[in-house]
Homo-oligomer: A and B are copies of this chain.
């Protein structure tokens, strides 16, 4: 039994945005229940030079969207990073999911062997699509999910490991 590039990317990304949506709901409810300004949570970060919660969601969106673009060669809408509220972050997630809904499995045909050149800071490398998805795009996507989780936990929002893992299966 073998796994397709589509199966490894789009469903994982869709699941991840479900997790981020649940985080936003819990963060919103926590702010309302505790009288906390929601903007404090949206702008909360773990370190002064790390991205805040809004930035983690924006990067999760771009990382996953750009992975699909690089693997399939299709075009994607541009999402300017202007979100400053829970409502706007939810819309960013919906926009990203709408893009994924438009992608068909057969558009990933040949993507495992496709050459992808990656630049990150001073590093540059040419990878196959398979290497790129497994060693860059997926780990990077989960980084932003887990960091959003850590930011909310650090702020006292009652998210738990089951929120991160999402529904099984």
Contact = CB atoms under 8 A, between A and B. Distances in A.
Number of copies: 2
Interface residues of A, number: 47
Contacts of A169: 125, 127, 131, 135
Contacts of A110: 1
A77 interface: no
A147 interface: yes
Interface in A26-68: 46-47, 50
14 contacts: A1-B112, A2-B4, A8-B134, A46-B154, A50-B150, A120-B162, A125-B168, A135-B169, A139-B145, A143-B149, A145-B146, A146-B147, A147-B150, A154-B154
